Amino acid sequence: MKVRWLGWAGVEIEAEGTTLVIDPLADPIATFAALAEDARERVQPPDLVAPARDGLAGLVSHLHRDHTDAGALSEALAPDAAVYEPVWPGGEDAENLSLAQANFELGRAGLQRRAFEIWDSAEIGPFTVTALPAVDGLGDPQVSWLVEAGGRRLLHLGDTIFHGYWWRMARRHGPFDVVMAPINGPVVDFPNLQPPSPLAAAMEPEQAVFAGELLGARALVPIHYGGFAAEPWYRPIDDARDRFEAAAAGRPYEVRVLDPGESFEAAAVPG
């Protein structure tokens, strides 16, 4: 299994000459389309690289626009490939404003869509994909995607907050050869989520480091950092990478800090 970080939360996984992608992003500024023009102009976009084309599937951890970019998925996927996503939450439109843009753009692009419940699995070419628990910091449905191929297991945590499913996930589906964990710990203040919370809407570096240990990861890769600062709407940790590396020192797993576009071969967990 070859793993390539695409920047932000995007990852491309290759096995037997085929690929799938998770949370690819091509147009980061569009993430803030619902805010005023001056807000979009002040956004600091992350560094990104494009995935290969003709992928077998696109997995999205949740329908926030920085994780579900219909344009990026359309470019990355083969014509008959599907997008796999969490089940729609129901409720009134006002409850789902954070999901509306990505949901509309997926429909407009005409992409095939498959909704997954937690613990659901599917075979896609050489890959087995499973939706594992995640908890979204804004209260929207989210999953962590487990991808298995060639005897390797990669777990992508989206932008989950810290939660209590780690032990259950490890018991049912571990050990994990690679865990990709968000580390930017953003505090958000969006107009549709008032009063705002002072708590981080995704894991902070120290939480990600501890989650990797609870999951029994063989290698931990930080993702979801290095962009999108936009006062006062989205305030990530400035030194997330440095804090992550300091907290991860001496942990019982390998730490792999990648640059966008960098790849590596995942090694198998013994036994």
Instruction: Calculate the CA 263 to chain-centre distance.
Output: 17
Q: What is the pLDDT of residue 133?
A: 98
Q: What is the pLDDT of residue 121?
A: 98
| Sequence-separated (6 or more) residues with CB below 8 Å from residue 249 | 255
Strand ordering across the sheet containing 143-149: 121-124, 127-133, 143-149, 152-156, 178-182, 219-223, 254-255
Q: What is the pLDDT of residue 268?
A: 60
Local structure of 39: helix, strand or coil: helix
- Identify the CA nearest to 234 among candidates 27, 23, 44, 10: 44
- Taking CA atoms, 221 is separated from 23, 61, 234, in Å, by 15, 17, 23
Q: What is the pLDDT of residue 44?
A: 86
Q: Which pTM does this prediction carry?
A: 0.96
Of 2.30.40.10, 1.10.150.20, 3.60.15.10, 2.60.40.1190, which CATH number belongs to 2-255?
3.60.15.10
- Identify the CA nearest to 190 among candidates 81, 33, 60: 33
Q: What is the pLDDT of residue 183?
A: 98
| Segments of the chain with pLDDT less than 50 | 270-271
Domain ranges of the chain: 2-255
